[in-house]
Structure 1
């Protein structure tokens, strides 16, 4: 008897390998995240270096306009005066704004609108340490060129009633201290003069030592050499 063989079933094709879609998708998301992070960082740096300068320049002009208006009316403005530095050019003029300890919110606001005055020290022309500070980069960069200062340079402070002239003792790049160093704020700005009673009228200017770092500070000190009383402002005649 003949044997009937069952027809052979065609062999099934080998299973296809799945494409690593999930891994590819994760790599795409990761790459996109890195790109967005990079763009965001560049945008942040650009804003800090340039955008804040524009905003601060507008604030500085507004403060100077207010000073001019107040002084014309024999009123002490919220800003205590104007700073001029001979070496930085005849067009350099910055408002000096009370800044408490220069680290709180009031101090940060002062530094964003001009030069900050350390209120715990003395005022311009007074015996003791008149301390002012400013940014080197961003927010107006009002003390960007502080390291360029040289011993003997003239710094002028104008208030509503007086004109004070200070002469610097040292170069602007001569003193560099850690940001935690306190002696530049002493009544006598000297590391060996803690608790000393001041006898001279001094000016101390402070800024960051490096353009993009806040770890260190540059400090320059000056002595008061001249005080000139400004002529009294004449009241405007009453309208007829």
Structure 2
């Protein structure tokens, strides 16, 4: 053997007919770091999305839990209305006038049935910052109480927790007020954007103010600073009834959509479990994922084990590998595997998202100063 000759490597030597084995190339270390960094960045982006979605949507899911707590604490409005019983509205007799509550006291609810029959917010006496941050609507103390001649005016933050839904009110939509003893039904007549200096909008000189209602909130939607603009909704009084007679027709269970019925059942489950809605949804999604993924692992574990033996530094890769499904095979089998694992991944992410909405997002909003809290009083 000459000096220039080399002993062939049996792992790389090609057989004359093209057969033989080849050594698998080792994944470069820079590829490992790229997968790790990209995976971490994507997870951080997802977490930011979870936080933002909680601020502008998720926080609204747990409002009913806080409303129930406030209802019990106020010793008023504890009795839940019977939505299967529709009352007849009194449109001829003069309505009873509610007594003036103490500042900061919760004394009623506001409903927007044409927007969402499952939506309601408590009414507190006063419109100072501390009162509005409690949750719900604040009653302008300079305006009359419902039922009285004059302008009954409410204010609320422009967040999902409070008055964001008032942006969707159209002329003819009902605005319903409930007190411990009475229902007061109003009909929206006009909406308008004004400046914060236009205080006449809550005076008795406002349109339909003879026995009317005014809703005010900031404009535009979800603003984190005061733009000096306000979104105004005016309405006229239609009629009243006693709470013991049932509910106005617009709030009746028979008028609810499928989504509203599902939301109502979810709120009932939340109340029975004494757990906020996001907690209930998290537990349901987690249970579904554990059961389905466990069954998939029992069925496809032999096909999944080789995947777990492949080295990867990407956290996303390992999250995907948690989802079991048939591996390998032809295009049809790969398509089925992709669909199964996609459903499992969606359930796992849903469980994590609802859990973060329930326990992590409120804490972050109250701890980190640069995160705008959708409702200071609703955090925790």
TM-score for the superposition, normalised by structure 2: 0.40
Which residue of structure 2 aligns with residue 189 of structure 1? 206
CA RMSD of aligned residues (A): 3.2
The structure whose residues are more often helix, as a share, is 2
Shift of 1:53: 5.4
Unaligned runs of 5+ in 2: 1-47, 80-100, 246-380
Are positions 1:227 and 2:218 aligned together? Answer: no
> Does the 8 A contact of 1:57 with 1:113 survive in 2?
no
Which residue of structure 2 aligns with residue 61 of structure 1? 68
> Does the 8 A contact of 1:169 with 1:221 survive in 2?
yes
Secondary structure, counterpart of 1:62 in structure 2: helix
Q: Deviations over 1:106-138 (max 9, x none)?
A: 4334xx321111111111111111111111226
> Does the 8 A contact of 2:185 with 2:237 survive in 1?
yes
Which residue of structure 2 aligns with residue 131 of structure 1? 153
CA 1:156–1:54: 2 relative to 1, 3 Å:
closer
Are positions 1:169 and 2:175 aligned together? Answer: no
Which residue of structure 2 aligns with residue 145 of structure 1? 165
Are positions 1:80 and 2:111 aligned together? Answer: no
Query: 2: CA distance between counterparts of 1:91 and 1:54?
Result: 11
Query: 2: CA distance between counterparts of 1:143 and 1:83?
Result: 10
> Does the 8 A contact of 1:131 with 1:203 survive in 2?
yes
Are positions 1:210 and 2:220 aligned together? Answer: yes
> Does the 8 A contact of 2:72 with 2:78 survive in 1?
no
The structure whose residues are more often strand, as a share, is 1
Q: 1:158 aligns with which of 173, 178, 181?
A: 178
- Aligned residue-pair number: 171
> Does the 8 A contact of 1:117 with 1:133 survive in 2?
yes
> Does the 8 A contact of 1:163 with 1:227 survive in 2?
yes
Query: 1: CA distance between counterparts of 2:143 and 2:185?
Result: 18
Shift of 1:56: 5.8
CA 1:105–1:89: 2 relative to 1, 3 Å:
closer
CA 1:89–1:50: 2 relative to 1, 3 Å:
closer
Query: 1: CA distance between counterparts of 2:117 and 2:58?
Result: 25
Shift of 1:148: 1.2
Unaligned runs of 5+ in 1: 1-41, 191-197, 233-240
Query: 1: CA distance between counterparts of 2:197 and 2:58?
Result: 29
